[in-house]
Amino acid sequence: MGRSKKLMNQRGVSLIFVVLVLIVLSILSVAIFTLFTSNMAQARTQQESIRVHYIAIAGVDVTVGALMQDNRSLLSNYFDKAIDIPVNPLSDRIDLDNGYAEIVVSSYVLENERWVLITSTGHLSEKPTTLRVVKMNFRVEYPQIQNWE
């Protein structure tokens, strides 16, 4: 009889051991799943950030192209004024495949020279709260020399 009682106690210990192993495996599975979903969300956010950044840059590029077309006619006629004459800013929206860029073109005077400032705010179509602002400025006389912010 002593032997059968000892065997029953060992079966109970085995059951407790199996339950503990299952609990540990469950905890590890939940931890791995949490890390996986967190990394996926971070990758998605980073991808959206990169996309909206390039939308904003594209807005600046399209605006520079518009200012420079037809032998710089828009740039010369609108912004190439005496430094004491105020120039009202221009604004527009450029729709792109994955979003849009809100553009503001303004000018300012620095050290007796007129500068043009292009501010482009990129937005994603599917997530309008994700945005990025890119600024670029240049002197009216030398639009090829650009300063990016």
The span from the first CA to the last CA of the chain, in angstroms, equals: 87
DSSP-derived secondary structure letter, 85: S
* pLDDT tens per residue, range 13-24: 778 888 999 999
Give the global pTM.
0.77
pLDDT in tens, 43-63: 999 999 999 999 999 999 999
